Homo-oligomer: A and B are copies of this chain.
Amino acid sequence: MNREELMFAVRRFAHAPDREGFATLVRASHPSDLAEALLCTSAQSLSALLLLLDPQQRADLFAHLAFSQQDELIALLPRQAVYDLVERMPADDRADLFNRLDALSRPDLLAGLDGVEREDILTLSAYPEQSIGSVTTSDFVAVNSAQTVTQALAHIRTLAPSSETIYSLYVLDDQRRLQGTVSLRDLVVAAGDATVASLVRPDPVSVQAAWPRAQAAELIRRYDLLAVPVLDAGQAMIGIVTVDDAMDIDKQQDANQLARFGGTAVAGGTDLDMMATPLRRMFSVRVFWLAVLTFFGIITSTFVAAQEELLSQAIVLAAFIAPIVDMGGNTGSQSATLVIRSMALGELGLNWRHVLFVIKRELPVAAMLGITIALLEAVLAWFSKGVGVDVLLVVGLSMLVCTALGGVIGALLPFLARRMGTDPATLSSPLITSVMDLVGVFVYFGFAWALLGDQLVGAGA
């Protein structure tokens, strides 16, 4: 069933609830697809639909719904249904849901759960948003190194229905400290009487629950893991982060980096989100950067205003300010993003060899770009405005220097950002442009004075 058909079917059931029919549809579809088809369904209809399903199906579907819909449903569904739901949800989604509840509703929810689940929610939700703890699931399987393979597999079979994954298994000591890992692959391939101890890999990669999420994703990606164990401050294992969550974390991190590069980097707290960030914060973060850029602009415009004498002699010079200083920012934007890209892929790092390598690569390209664009601009300026040769020379030379300089400076800025200990994308495109504007007007009027200055002297004499 394709997307269209699924949406149609869902809409039909929303209007005319049919237990058999809907349960069959849910069984036959992937929860991600169903959740997408249900995006536009009202909370009331959604509530009625969910109550048509058995508790496990309901919990599986619920975990995939949009957060805003989950929150609405928690308020609408009958209390017992909410408790069943929360009990059966994956532990990490459950902790997320709990964290989104307001302070009044939380004790209510905890009251309806077993001691085990209650403690689990409290442990996981104690970690701040954006930390590894907030994406950790405690539904992992621990095995005993003294067991045989056959015993371990029997143990796994009983735990499988409530486990996030059984492909990575963990060997813990009495204090729940991580001793090593075993893969299901190794267990299945080994002889039944082999001991788990003979298959355990010691010194496993692990992360701390308090670390930023991105580090869990980084390690999973680097070591091709299916899951990474999460330890608390006392080195006890509290859960795992699975590879599917790691993919989502990476996607978010990269999307956030793009927005930061657009000029919306935040000092602390969550990155700006067009969908969810309150107006106030959206304004305050963005106005900060625009104000910084405004200050840059004032310096630039003050300098230009001081060139009044020169400008009044050759008004046409004013026309070229923007295109020329902009080209520095354009070329700089190109080279900066190419460097940031390579840094993100782990190909460039903060060391002199790499800085020199980048300069070596960018210099010839920036020079060639400068010459080409300068010629283009000069030709176009001639045809469109019929300016004199001296002005053409000023325009051409400025364009050449601005373009080439822009490319090189743009390529170096990401290294500067890393040196300052910040994500390279924080030196955003608008910032690069503003810096090059300032450099550009100095270059432009420098050439203008050098080549046209004598005209003024002559006029004044």
Q: Which residue numbers of A lie inside 8 Å of B, CB to CB?
A: 30, 32, 153, 156-157, 160-161, 165-167, 184-185, 188-189, 205, 220-224, 226, 243-244, 246-248, 250-252, 254-264, 272-275, 279, 282-283, 286-287, 289-291, 293-295, 297-298, 300-302, 304-305, 308, 311-312, 315-316, 318-323, 325-327, 329-331, 333-342, 344-345, 347-348, 358, 361-362, 364-365, 368-369, 372-373, 376-377, 380-381, 384-385, 403, 411, 425, 428-430, 433-434, 437, 441
Contacts and interface: CB of A to CB of B under 8 A. Distances in A.
A380 B301 CA distance: 11
Given A263-B337, A290-B327, A283 B369 contact: yes
Nearest to A304: B319
Contacts of A364: 279
Given A254-B344, A293-B327, 14 more contacts: A160-B185, A160-B188, A259-B337, A260-B337, A261-B337, A262-B335, A264-B338, A274-B358, A282-B365, A290-B369, A294-B327, A311-B318, A330-B430, A330-B433
A289 B344 contact: no
11 contacts: A184-B185, A251-B254, A255-B344, A258-B261, A262-B337, A262-B429, A263-B337, A273-B342, A283-B368, A286-B334, A302-B319
A432 to B, nearest CB: 9
A156 to B, nearest CB: 7
B311 A315 contact: yes
Contacts of A345: 251-252, 255
Contact of A373 (B165, B287, B429): B287
A359 B258 CA distance: 20
Contacts of A344: 251, 254-255, 258
B319 A322 contact: no
Contacts of A156: 188
A297 B312 contact: no
Contacts of A247: 220-221, 243, 246-247, 250
